[in-house]
Amino acid sequence: MHRALHISEIVDLILAELSRLSSNPFGAFIVNRPGPSNGSLAALARTCKSFQNPALSWLWREQFTLRNLLKCLPSHLWEQVKINEWPHSLFRITKTTQPSDWEIPLAYALRVQTLHLSAIEVASCADSVYEILSSELPRDFLCPKLTSVSLLYTFSPHPSHITHARLFLGPKVVDVRLALPMGSDEMMLELPIQYPALKGLDISLGLNCDTASKIALSLTQITHLRLDFINREALEHISQLITLQSLTLVCPDLEDMGGPLLSLSKPTSGASRFPALKNFRLDEIKVECATELVSVIIGSPLHTVYISTEDDLPNKSTTHQLYTTLADHISHTSLRDLSIGKETSLHVDAAFDVPFAEYIIDGNSLTLLFPFKNLNNVLLDAPLGFVISDSTI
């Protein structure tokens, strides 16, 4: 063997490249199927003892399915059954397991650091599999060295299914993504998530404003956050976090936040709100609410602002106020990408009974955005169009 391959850092670089080539290009939305590169990692692990441990670590480091681990159980304990009109086979454990049956899967599970389970993959294991894992697994967590977990329970018919999520939420997890069935509030709060230690949190669906706000108030080191609803107290708390770099709020409502946000406590002279925020996204939001939320930002080094509105026809006045607030509160030098509009464009023609002049965006509004001199990408949606004169340009 070449002497260079005795250097662990070189071997690690080779394995990292093989792992990159085998990465699932569709993220957590399809089951990862072993390809040539995964096969190369497995073959390398069998080549010699020097390669075995590092190659196995890279092979198992990131998983998009539980079945790779579960298939390490003795073969007489499980089966896969084809279900009509279902894209994947249903995995079932058919017999009672003994602690010794778990030795091999648990040994490999120690190497898993990132787990992505799509909604399809969650549903591809029978409910009884999760019950067996909860009752027969000889340790508290399936993968105790996990640091990042993505669990999409959007196909789950009942919130009780998320109680099995505790199997994957070990003490080292710092990045959590959950998509939950509606009504998951009580069970969500019972999950063993170490919120103060989290770096990333993405929760979609399933929670009411009080639960989401309680979670937000417990965050102290978060860098990336996505929640559906939070109240005023939670908004004020996260605005003071010096670690928060990316924030997405979905369907925020001023009523949930207790009305206009101008009464938020003023930061001391020279202080900032959202002092480290670089990416700010508002989804499915009314223009007036977006304006209020942008007005809360003070001194943030924002690179990206993305606002997806739910208004079919925001009028000229509300759009002008939003542009004014952006110009007053967002750094003119740091902003690189700006997108404002409805994700699904509305086709408007003369048949619509609306006063067109009140909805056409004119140069007085557009010029408010001209001071953002470092913009690279701009997307502004106006269903009835813009009026730009030579003098505006």
Q: Name the pTM for this structure.
A: 0.84
Using pLDDT thresholds of 50, 70 and 90, give the confidence band for residue 36: very low
Query: Which stretches does DSSP call E strand in 72-206?
Result: 78-81, 90-93, 114-117, 148-152, 175-179, 200-204
Average pLDDT over residues 225-236: 90
Cα 120 from Cα 131, distance rounded (Å): 18
% pLDDT > 70, the chain: 82
- Would you state the pLDDT for residue 29? 41
For the chain, first and last CA: distance in Å? 67
Q: What are the sequence ranges of the domains in the chain?
A: 10-60, 208-393
Per the CB < 8 A criterion, the answer to whether 387 and 361 are in contact is: yes
Chain centre to alpha carbon of residue 272: 26
Cα 234 from Cα 10, distance rounded (Å): 46
Cα 46 from Cα 38, distance rounded (Å): 13
How does pLDDT run across 100-157, given as a tens digit for each residue?
999 999 999 999 999 999 988 888 888 899 999 999 999 999 999 999 999 988 766 6
- Would you state the pLDDT for residue 259? 57
Dmax of the chain from CA atoms?
80
Look over the chain and give the mean of its residue pLDDT values, rounded to a whole number: 84
Per the CB < 8 A criterion, the answer to whether 97 and 129 are in contact is: no
Distances in Å between the alpha carbon of 206 and those of 183, 188, 212, 215? 5, 9, 10, 13
